[in-house]
Amino acid sequence: MQIYLNGLEKQIPDSLDMAGLIEMLDLTDQRIAVEVNEELVPRTTFSGHILNDQDRIEIIHAVGGG
């Protein structure tokens, strides 16, 4: 299936959930925020959030500093 990840087309396996995508991208231990189709997806729901063809996903890395 095809999704748009941070504006770029990407092919992913069918029936993949957000947790699987995060693992596939090797971001499991990263501090990130995820939005799907302009809606924030809480980390606690990653494993139940099934991705759909043509979803638009934005992943933003949190950066600390002062």
Where in the sequence is the domain holding 16, given as residue range(s)?
2-61
| pLDDT tens for the 66 residues of the chain, in order | 999 999 999 999 999 999 999 999 999 999 999 999 999 999 999 999 999 999 999 999 988 876
Whether 50 maps to a domain, the answer reads: yes
- Whether 66 is in a domain gets the answer no
Residue 12, domain CATH: 3.10.20.30
The reported pLDDT for the residue numbered 65 is 77
For residue 16, give both structure tokens. 């993949």
pTM (global) more than 0.85? yes
User: What does the alpha-carbon distance between residue 50 and residue 20 come to, in Å, rounded to a whole number?
Assistant: 9
CA distance 55 to 37: 6
Give the count of domains, the chain: 1
- At 19, list the tokens: 């947790």
